Structure 1
Amino acid sequence: MASVVTLNTRFSRETAVPASSGRRPFPLTLLAAAGLSVALIAGSVAPVAARPAPASFADLVEDVAPAVVNIAVVQRGAEPSQSRRSEGPPQVQPFGDDPNLQEFFERFFGPGGRPDGRQAQPERPRQGAGSGFVIDPEGYVVTNNHVIDGADEITVTLKDGTAYEARLIGADPRTDLAVLKIEADGPLPFVEFGESDGLRPGDWVVAVGNPFGLGGSVTAGIVSARGRDLPGGSLIDFIQIDAPINRGNSGGPTFDSEGAVIGVNTAIYSPNGGSVGIGFAIPSNLASRIVDDLRDDGKVDRGWLGVRIQPVTPDIAEGFGMAGVEGALVAAVEPGSPAAAAGLRAGDVVLEWDGKPVVRVKDLSQLVAQTPVDKPAELRVWRDRGPLALTVVTGAVPTEQQVSGLPAPQSGEAQKPGKTELGETGVTVAALDDEAREALGLNGADSGVVIVDIAPGSHAARSGLRPGDLIRSITLEPVKTPDEAVARIAALEEAGESVATIKAVRQGTESFFALRLTKI
């Protein structure tokens, strides 16, 4: 089956998403492939003289290759289900996945014990590799989010073999981009983003990266198409290229003929997981904006409207009295959202956003995301068989806690009562009140404190804890209030402990998590 596949060589991270087309599917892997096509122009159209192919890309490659890096990652805490998924079918266990039976057998055979006398093997660290590129002499590196997602260690290796431990500055899963920082002894070779909006199908491109961990590989091809859609990429109009790229090219750059970065290699479309000449890159005009945001404060601020939308079909257009099928049909409006405040309703069709036409559903998602938070935007919608003008003030994208009905901390503001940071662990908790009980599906007998925020890049972020988890105990000591949780962490730190064992409930299941207390 065809699928979209990430281009890093971390086997545990590669995913396959079935193609949604009604035609015979092909696998989509995050990478690209080479091969040129020739079209015959018939009729009265005058032939256009093609520019000759470059005699060599060697000078270009010599200039840009030193700024392209290899990225190696280590993940120490891969979830067993993830491991099984990547390595093959699950092994038959004597008691399956039932935690009650697991606990029963461990009473007789010890922690991790099995009735056959063997001890369960600890999860081995997962390793993977990808590509990236240096964007300034101070050591900022761009790559794909899927290359470094969940990594406990990130190593960046330059073309000359020098390796550096990298620090994650920020990542944006919605555009699959991440920014790393390495500390070198002096200025580093770097490349700059170019202008991707002017690219045309047929333009030459060069890809440099780390396919299959080989490092320093160069391929050339052309832009095959613009504005491609991929599953999960609603904010991106991908550039399709045919310069061969393969697993491990994820996060590497695609250059134009002048040596400017015009794309970040992310996926390939392939029936076998290898390059067949159809690759996809994130355009530089989008990537540069996201990278600037991540460098600024480690996160991306994008506008939020608060609607669920769907395409306008010919039948829907006819029923609404519309002449065409352009626009984004509002299927639902979230209560309390900017859309609700502006008066948008289910059944409205958004035709324009701040003077820009909305032709496809994806257009509205991209235009809203590109709009600064709290900026008024003029909307033209179709309602009751006629056009209507509305003004909406965009909001900030709600956090996971806000979506689930829990309050989220605001950066830069004082801590509110009942919401407390647990030392410098990166965990922020709140009291378990009636609202939180309802949001989490808990009953009156449950006690603990609710995690409402996890700081990016913190030990907490690496521990597996998530917003919405209910902490019941810290190192086996029950906690019922935020003050008790803070006191428990402080006591452990004062005693010189480096790890706090957290028992937390997630979706009705209790688990233990190891939370490091030492500073990063």
Structure 2
Amino acid sequence: MKKVGLTLLTAFAGGAMALGTYKIFEKKYADNMTFEERQKVYFTNNPVTVSSAGSVDFTQAAATVTPAVVYIRTTYSSQQGNGGSSPFDDMFGDFFGQRMRPRGPQQASGSGVIISPDGYIVTNNHVVEKADKITVNLNDHRTFQAKVVGTDPSTDLALIKISGNDLPIVKLGNSDDAKVGEWVLAVGNPFNLNSTVTAGIVSAKGRNIGIIGSENNDEDSSPFGMRQRQSQQPRLNKAIESFIQTDAAINPGNSGGALVNTKGELIGINAAIASHTGSYEGYGFAIPINLAKKVLNDIKQFGSVKRGYIGVSFRELNDDAAKDLGISRNTGLYVSELVDGGGAEAAGVRKGDIITKVEGNPVYESSDLQERVGRLQPGDKINITVLRDGSEKNLTVTLKGEAAAPKSAAVSKSAEELFNKLGASFQPLTKEQKAKFRVNNGVVVTQVRPGRLFYETEIPVGSIITNINKQPINSVADIDKAITNLRNGNLIITGVYPDGTSFNNMFQVQ
């Protein structure tokens, strides 16, 4: 009996030590961990049991996911309206969550998914872009004000943050494992109906519907505006589309919500619908979570997305394209142009090659390549197979970064609202940056969003913000403190431009 008691005591002590170690590890190293690593620690301490993948009982998965899917309300000034309707509205409907256009301050709604217990939320870029105020309502009726950490128009993703602790989260899944025909749940807030769950199946994968940035597309395209170029120097809104298609009912307001499997794992972020009416007609599209992981981790770590590029322009092959080019093959990507000094050129890719495989997987359309590349960083390597002179060649391409950062491109309100008005993302300075710019403190601007204060006043990416309202700035938390203590509505921003010249700009906040 004593041995049994000693064994139980030892087991209890060991478990307590393991739990304590996890807590210490989580607190000390959380800032340097990816969202997936943070979640592994969280779910080690908070295991969940849900139904199996083959079960038609969705109750456990719905109960697990619903608390972490939030309702997002945005407010923005009438000057920030979207103008005329998109030429794709009739075919695909608005991005759900699209802003209404009444007079005066405008409002919209959408959804988001909590992915970290300390308040990081993933949603769609089009839900929060240009928003002055972002209000987040949790399933338990708690309300928070959110600030935009960063956005990626190329994938229509955004990372926002609320101030909270021990918040419910949705477990990140593996979208590569999703199979056509498997059951999935869509969770969101359609038509302002909070916490709505619908069921369907994965209808298709790798869909490129040409909806992201379609109004700005001046590149080679099909009649549906599908993106067909991958270059080293893309447009700022370069689209990366490889949607998971589902017939789970999703409608306006579902935008930014969760697409989960029956294990309760997040496999996609709902983003668009194909509709003639703007409401559900059987076709919904979600951004694969494996692509979203890279984007969200980059935004948190660097303040913007570090994207690698192959360095080619290509044309997606089909019967018509093959006939036009005078070739017999009607699948793959025809290389029409190489970027000088790009990764593809260095790897031996030639104009006229046909990209047939990426990492050993067949390439049928642009999304098969772009989604894979979109997960990688500059400097990463990717294996492609090209068809040349009737035979296939395997090549390894080292991805290159963008040639340059995008060119540089209002308030007795909450810190979050004021932060959103700045329209920028920031990272603390490194020792090297402090030495280069000869400053003792500051943050570097890593992203500038069109239509906001930094964009309009031409404070570009790469600028150093040293003081706001004469308060030293070393972190985003310092910015929050500085902008909540305005005197006479004035906002004074001091810093250094990327070329080393100093600035001291004063703004009247309205």
TM-score under structure 2 normalisation? 0.60
2:115 alignment partner in structure 1: 135
The separation in 2 between residues aligned to 1:207 and 1:128, in whole angstroms, is 20
Equivalent pairs, count: 362
Contact 1:425 1:515 in 2 (8 A): no
**Residues 146, 157 of structure 1: alpha-carbon distance in 2 compared, 3 angstrom cutoff:** same
1:305 aligns with 2:297: no
The separation in 2 between residues aligned to 1:403 and 1:324, in whole angstroms, is 43
The separation in 1 between residues aligned to 2:508 and 2:395, in whole angstroms, is 50
Picking from 128, 144, 157, the partner of 1:148 is 128
1:381 aligns with 2:386: yes
The separation in 1 between residues aligned to 2:361 and 2:247, in whole angstroms, is 31
Alpha-carbon deviation of 1:269? 1.3
The 5 A counterparts of 1:230-379 are: 230-232=209-211, 235-314=240-319, 324-379=329-384
1:226 alignment partner in structure 2: 205
1:166 partner SS: strand
Kindly provide the amino acid, as one letter, of the partner of residue 60 in structure 1. A
The separation in 1 between residues aligned to 2:458 and 2:104, in whole angstroms, is 20
Alpha-carbon deviation of 1:67? 1.2
Alpha-carbon deviation of 1:204? 2.3
The separation in 1 between residues aligned to 2:290 and 2:245, in whole angstroms, is 15
1:164 aligns with 2:144: yes
The separation in 2 between residues aligned to 1:145 and 1:225, in whole angstroms, is 23
Structure in which a larger fraction of residues adopt helix? 2
The 5 A counterparts of 1:454-469 are: 455=448, 460-461=453-454, 463=456, 465=458
Deviations 1:228-262 (A, max 9, x none): 22214663332222221111110111222222222
1:78 partner SS: helix
**Residues 378, 269 of structure 1: alpha-carbon distance in 2 compared, 3 angstrom cutoff:** closer
**Residues 266, 464 of structure 1: alpha-carbon distance in 2 compared, 3 angstrom cutoff:** farther
1:95 alignment partner in structure 2: none
The 5 A counterparts of 1:40-51 are: none
Which consecutive residues of structure 2, in runs of 5 or more, have no partner in the other structure? 1-52, 87-101, 213-238, 410-426, 462-486, 494-504
Contact 1:320 1:385 in 2 (8 A): no
Deviations 1:156-209 (A, max 9, x none): 11112211111212222122111111112x411221122333333332222221
Kindly provide the amino acid, as one letter, of the partner of residue 490 in structure 2. S
TM-score under structure 1 normalisation? 0.59
The separation in 2 between residues aligned to 1:376 and 1:261, in whole angstroms, is 27
Contact 1:209 1:215 in 2 (8 A): yes
Alpha-carbon deviation of 1:298? 2.7
The separation in 2 between residues aligned to 1:255 and 1:289, in whole angstroms, is 18
The 5 A counterparts of 1:108-123 are: none
Alpha-carbon deviation of 1:466? 8.1
Contact 2:294 2:376 in 1 (8 A): no
Report the structure number with the largest CA radius of gyration. Answer: 1
1:335 partner SS: coil
The separation in 2 between residues aligned to 1:331 and 1:467, in whole angstroms, is 33
Alpha-carbon deviation of 1:364? 2.6
2:74 alignment partner in structure 1: 73
**Residues 213, 466 of structure 1: alpha-carbon distance in 2 compared, 3 angstrom cutoff:** farther
Contact 2:206 2:368 in 1 (8 A): no
2:62 partner SS: helix
**Residues 145, 515 of structure 1: alpha-carbon distance in 2 compared, 3 angstrom cutoff:** farther
The separation in 2 between residues aligned to 1:321 and 1:403, in whole angstroms, is 43
The separation in 1 between residues aligned to 2:302 and 2:405, in whole angstroms, is 19
Deviations 1:260-304 (A, max 9, x none): 222211111111111122211222232233323323223222211
1:498 aligns with 2:490: yes
Kindly provide the amino acid, as one letter, of the partner of residue 183 in structure 1. S
The separation in 1 between residues aligned to 2:382 and 2:183, in whole angstroms, is 38
The separation in 1 between residues aligned to 2:153 and 2:145, in whole angstroms, is 22
Kindly provide the amino acid, as one letter, of the partner of residue 214 in structure 1. L
Contact 2:304 2:447 in 1 (8 A): no
The percent of aligned pairs where both chains have the same amino acid is 37
Which consecutive residues of structure 1, in runs of 5 or more, have no partner in the other structure? 1-49, 87-121, 405-409, 428-452, 469-494, 502-513
The RMSD of aligned alpha carbons is 4.2
